[in-house]
Structure 1
């Protein structure tokens, strides 16, 4: 990206992480991603230690110079949701923006199935937007129980 302030190498990532129930929540390495091998700490280390320096490394700088691109400023934009355990409390990971998007996660054994809750699984492509489901379209307790039994 080039603007009045120079040329920028932007690394953009959208991620979802579940916070730990333990007291180690400030440690980004304790936040689990959807693939179970993905951790917030690992992602941050990879972005800052590998991806961001690519534009300044000799191969990257040479490739950019061949395109007529001068010095580059590297920036990271990491967005998504941090999900906090329920019931309970978890601190935010170190470095998290205080205004980050938040959600809650719950263990299966703790899922209350009564007429008071509304449940609706979301397709992966719908994970980034706030869930909006009309009351009449959300699952009944029976549909939810059937889904649990099929897991």
Structure 2
């Protein structure tokens, strides 16, 4: 039985604003990344007080009716809501399957009509949180996917599949033709708190101020601080300012709780000072890094 559980309530509206405007975790990676100007226009509409007063209750209701246990699905729900309510967009399809002879050969995350230019756009979206293993590789905390395989899958399959004859035939049944494609890949990147390797050129350095550490390294780094810490559930991994945290602990206490529980998966934790988040990272099991190195052997591409 766990000796520790935090009480954190995410702010769905703040998560929506983060979803629409967070920087991509990579740059110059051969993907049609959504331009900053489009992100700003999306966020500005939902950032107004009038819009929030009118639509925040609808967002809460939408999420209550579409419960998402996986963070990626929650992230897609937020985009679906945005496309359905922003005046520049009309949601045409979500998760459109491409089937041939009873087999699903691919799926299109979103098809939207971009009204200012009266064109149909295909969007692939993913929110990712990766920990740096060495100078080249980043893996998810659960060791189930990697940054390089995710980028390759989006570049070589998820986007090109929309240009196949199968996709054109499927879309033609709905009188649709894709004019443009976008990739959206926000998230956070976590570097070792001790001796971090250099950053690859494609990594966005603005998203690398986060860390991962074993319990002992975490304690050594933060033991004399006066911040309060808590473990974050996945829906609090997005916006880092507006969630509410209760049952907070000092750094030494949360490290002791991790030692006692001996979890196999890392804990995402954050520190607050005067109600503001001041640090965020993953506490990982002592053998996590070795398991991560072992996971770098050839694998199937991430399906998320």
Q: Which structure 2 segments of 5+ residues have no match?
A: 1-111, 263-304
- Report the aligned-residue RMSD: 2.5
Tell me the number of residue pairs that the alignment of Structure 1 and Structure 2 aligns.
144
Q: Is the 8 A contact 1:119 1:144 kept in 2?
A: no
In the TM superposition, what is the alpha-carbon distance from 1:61 to its structure 2 partner? 1.1
The equivalent of 1:86 in structure 2 is: 193
Q: Tell me the distance in 1 between the aligned counterparts of 2:207 and 2:260.
A: 34
Unaligned runs of 5+ in 1: none
1:84–1:103 CA contact under 8 A, matched in 2: yes
Residue correspondence of structure 1 range 1-151 to structure 2 within 5 A: 1-3=112-114, 4=117, 6-20=119-133, 22=134, 25=135, 27=136, 30-100=137-207, 102-112=209-219, 114-116=223-225, 118-130=228-240, 137-140=247-250, 141-142=252-253, 144-151=255-262
Task: Rate the CA distance shift 1:142–1:101 in 2: closer, same or farther, 3 A.
Answer: closer
TM-score, reference length from structure 1: 0.79
Q: Is the 8 A contact 1:31 1:39 kept in 2?
A: yes
CA contact (8 A) 1:11 1:75 kept: yes
Query: Post-superposition, which runs of at least 4 consecutive aligned residues in structure 1 deviate over 4 A?
Result: 131-134
Q: How far apart are the structure 1 equivalents of 2:205 and 2:254?
A: 37
* CA displacement at 1:75 relative to structure 2: 1.7
Greater helix proportion: 2
- Tell me, in whole angstroms, the C-alpha distance in 1 between the residues paired with 2:167 and 2:260: 51
Secondary structure at the residue paired with 1:91?
Answer: coil
In 1, Cα distance between equivalents of 2:164 and 2:187? 28
Q: How far apart, in 2, do the equivalents of 1:121 and 1:11 lie?
A: 30
